[in-house]
Each structure stands twice: as structure tokens, then as C-alpha cells.
Amino acid sequence: MKGLTALLTSMLGSLKDLLPIILVIGFFQIIVLQQPLPDSLSILIGLVLVVMGLTFFVFGLEMGLFPIGESMAHSLARKGSVFWLVVFAFLLGFGTTIAEPALTAVAAEAAEVAAEGGMIAMTEDAQSSYANGLRITVALSVGFAIVLGVLRILKGWPIHRIIIGGYILVVTMTAFAPRYIIGIAYDSGGVTTSTITVPLVTALGVGLATVIKGRNPMVDGFGLIAFASLSPMIFVMVYGMVAT
């Protein structure tokens, strides 16, 4: 009964989150465009499905991904093995990024545009190889970023120095990277931090900062996502210089 109540509460919260979007679309459709909603029944059913999907997604994160991420961080930290903690951090970053649907879509689109622009051969194999190479490059970069973030938590390094240094490197590389890869590199930094990566990586950081003596979860537990957004820009620009 408590689970059902929590699910209904989460569904109400999802509806509240979507309400501003609904109001904006309704305002422009009815007041500005002065047109009735096309296929109102279909839109209503779609809205219900969106609310349910968002509800189950958030509810699932709270029940499954957040707890398992924090518990594994606690266990590895208590084990006292930095090696296995670093290996876990890298594989977590790599695995969650490879599974990101947004990255798959961007990589496929980038490969198609690269083929049309003559950067790679106009063949299915060439496009598939380019897209897979891009995905693996981004996944490796996120794995590296999560390792860096974990080491920052362990060592207590100031986050602002790493972030500032990283963006200085990004700006510098932008001047030398091929023009056609710059936009893809910048977008890659955004699509990596999506539905799969963010929950597990955040749980890892918070869990690790909670269990390590002298670390504050609010101060030290966050920031891994910033690294995961920054590193793909660097790695993808390098990939563009090497692969094409």
C-alpha cells in the first residue's frame, strides 16, 4: 500500500513538472496560432503515456539505480582498494555512455553528414565505423572523466581548477580542430550526461563522499557530471583530427 501511495505521489509530481510545458504549448496553439489541437484524443493519450513514463522512470531511479550506485561506492570505499574503485569508476562511465540513446542518435547523424560532406566514404560500413568510433571515443572520455572525478574526491582536489583548466584546453583545441568536428564535439559533451549516465554517476559520487572521512557529500559528492560533460569535447576533437 505504501508503494502504491508513493507511486501515485510520484505521478502527481510528474504531472506538475509537465504542466508548464502543457500550458506553453496550449497558449501558443490556441491563443497565438488560434488553431484547435489536431487529433485531441491522440494528444491526450500521448500525454498520459508521457506522465506514466516519466513517473516510472523517476520511481525506478529512486528504487534501483541510486541505491545500487551508492551501495557499491560504500562497499568499494570500505574495501580500501583504490585500484578496484578506479576500475569500477572507469567501467561505469564507459558502460553507461555506450548505452546512452542520445549519443547513438548523434553519432549516427554525424556519420551520415560526414559521408555526405565527403569526409568519409559514402558506404554503410564507413558510416557505421565512424559512428562506432565516435561512440567509443566519447565513452572512453567519460570513463576517464569519472576516474578523474573519483580521484578528486579521494585526494580533495579543488574542482574549479580542473574545470577551468579543462575549458582552457577545449578553447585552445577549438582553434586547431577541423571545423566540421567542433560542433559534434560540443554536442557530445551534452548528450553523454543523459538518462542512464547521470543517476549512476551521481550516486557514485555522493556515496563515495559520504563514506570517506573528511569529505562533505554536498561539497565533494557532486561534480562528476561536469567532468563527464567536459572530457568528450577534448576527446572528440582529437578523434576528428585523427580519424578524418
User: E strands along 93-235, which residues?
Assistant: none
Same domain for 94 and 58?
Answer: no
Same domain for 85 and 200?
Answer: yes
Mean pLDDT by 10 residues, the chain (244 residues): 73 83 84 78 84 79 70 73 86 87 86 83 86 91 93 89 94 90 88 77 83 82 89 90 72
Q: What total number of domains does the chain contain?
A: 2
Same domain for 17 and 136?
Answer: no
Same domain for 12 and 57?
Answer: yes
Same domain for 160 and 134?
Answer: yes
Q: Does residue 75 lie in a domain region?
A: no
Q: Does residue 68 lie in a domain region?
A: no
**Per-residue confidence (pLDDT) for residue 244, from 0 to 100:** 59
pTM: 0.77
| Beta-carbon contacts of residue 217 (< 8 Å; ≥ 6 apart) | 206, 209, 210
Q: Does residue 208 lie in a domain region?
A: yes
Same domain for 125 and 40?
Answer: no
Same domain for 178 and 137?
Answer: yes
Closest residue by Cα to residue 235 from 105, 139, 129, 161: 139
Matching residue, cell 551520415: 112
Q: Does residue 100 lie in a domain region?
A: yes
Closest residue by Cα to residue 148 from 163, 167, 137, 129: 163
Which grid cell sits at 37? Answer: 489541437
Domain span at residue 218 reads: 80-243
| Beta-carbon contacts of residue 183 (< 8 Å; ≥ 6 apart) | none
* Residue 214 DSSP symbol: T
Same domain for 228 and 155?
Answer: yes
Same domain for 145 and 38?
Answer: no
Final residue before a domain boundary, out of 63, 91, 107: 63
How many CB atoms are located within 10 Å of the residue 186 CB?
A: 16
Q: Alpha-carbon torsion 101, 189, 197, 14, what sign? A: negative
